[in-house]
A and B are shown apart, each in its own frame.
Chain A
Amino acid sequence: MTEAPTDIPPVARPVRRLPAWIIGLAFIALIAFLAVLGFELKSIQQGPILRGQQVPAIVLNTFEGTVVNTTDLKGKVVVLNFWASWCVPCEGEAPALESAWNAYKPEGQVVFLGVDYVDTEPEARAFLSKYDITYPNGPDLGTKISQMFRITGVPETYFLDREGKLAYSQIGPFSTEDEIKAIIDPLLK
């Protein structure tokens, strides 16, 4: 075995490095890309609002031109009904919802809100007129409200308790006014 010569000086190779500003810029671009990716992933993986969870503020621009914000309705039970004029089951439950609204309206402890899901305004107005709906209704602009609840279709109805937490969700139509009252009454106690 021969020993490696120790007296030979190491060959000095010129080290080439990218300028610091290019490295910095690349890092910033990488971090920005990862941040955007993370934000998108978070919003995609965000699940529906579960029972007992606080419901974020909902802003509904009604067909009458008023703005309803659920943060102003603290202390009241809120019934949020998603519907559309092209939805046949929505036609079936519309009279029951209107009757229930009329029953609770005098006490002022329950607020009904109709959220018109991906609908056209003339047809929506015709629907409201046909079923004499008198509680506030408005379009789901940008489908922001329906995305918040991750609705799977219409009709769907969500009940918020006095603290603004989700108390109950109904997937599908109501058949009678009593079904609606059976959910609201315990929330008023």
Chain B
Amino acid sequence: MRSATLKIAFLLAFALGWLYATPVSAQQPTPSDNQVNAVAHELYCPVCENIPLDVCSTQACAQWRDLIRQKLAAGWSTQKIDDYFAAQYGERVLAVPPLQRSFNQLLPGLIGAGILAGVGLVFWTLRGSLRSVFVKTPESTPPPPPPTVDAELLDRVEKDLRQRT
């Protein structure tokens, strides 16, 4: 009877210990300074001109870096953090504003479209010349007739040439 009580007490203690241990294992690891600075580098100091957040020493910047650390610890992605900061403090805090980011994403397509338009324009301009180069003469067209020479005129010319020599 006593050993059974001991076993139940042991099992209860084990279960309680497991319950306490589980939340600890589920916690996100604390983000390192490098991880925080990588995100902070893409943001700018809110109260000073042209200083990235990762190298800014004001109290406002320190608070923002802490906020980034909290968001990273909560499992937020860099994009989500950027979006949060833009919504909260305006797009001017972003190193790359969304309009420029969208333009950068569109750039390869725009370059391709520009090249195609250029090629099209060149082709359109030279189409007359290209037609004469590539379009073949139809085979049914008869060759031009050889020039006819009057026999009498030829004799006179030959005679004249002989006299001169």
Contacts and interface: CB of A to CB of B under 8 A. Distances in A.
Given A14-B128, A16-B125, A84 B88 contact: no
Contacts of B9: none
B60 A118 contact: yes
B63 A123 contact: yes
Interface string A57-92: 000000000000000000000000000111000000
Contact of B63 (A120, A139, A153): A120
B58 to A, nearest CB: 7
A86 B58 contact: yes
A86 B87 contact: no
Interface in B93-123: 93
Contact of A142 (B58, B66, B90): B90
Interface string B56-75: 00111001101100000000
Nearest to B64: A120
Contacts, number: 37
A53 interface: no
Given A14-B128, A118-B46, A147 B90 contact: yes
Nearest to A85: B63
B92 interface: yes
Given A86-B58, A118-B60, A119-B60, A143 B67 contact: no
A28 interface: no
B89 A118 contact: yes
A141 interface: yes
A142 B60 CA distance: 16
B87 A141 contact: yes
Contacts of A139: 88
B8 interface: no
A16 B86 CA distance: 51
Contacts of B58: 86
B89 A142 contact: yes
Kindly name the residue among A123, A144, A153 whose own CB sees the greatest number of chain B CB atoms within 10 A. A123
Interface in A119-156: 119-120, 123, 139, 141-144, 147, 153
B59 A141 contact: no
Contacts of B47: 86, 118, 153
Nearest to A18: B124
A44 B129 CA distance: 51
13 contacts: A16-B125, A84-B60, A86-B58, A86-B60, A86-B63, A118-B60, A118-B93, A142-B88, A142-B89, A142-B90, A143-B89, A143-B92, A153-B47
- 7 A-B pairs closest in CB distance: A118-B46, A86-B59, A143-B90, A86-B60, A120-B63, A142-B90, A120-B67
Given A18-B124, A86-B47, A147-B90, 12 more contacts: A14-B128, A85-B63, A118-B47, A118-B60, A119-B60, A120-B63, A120-B67, A123-B63, A139-B88, A142-B89, A143-B92, A153-B47
Interface of B: 46-47, 58-60, 63-64, 66-67, 86-93, 124-125, 128
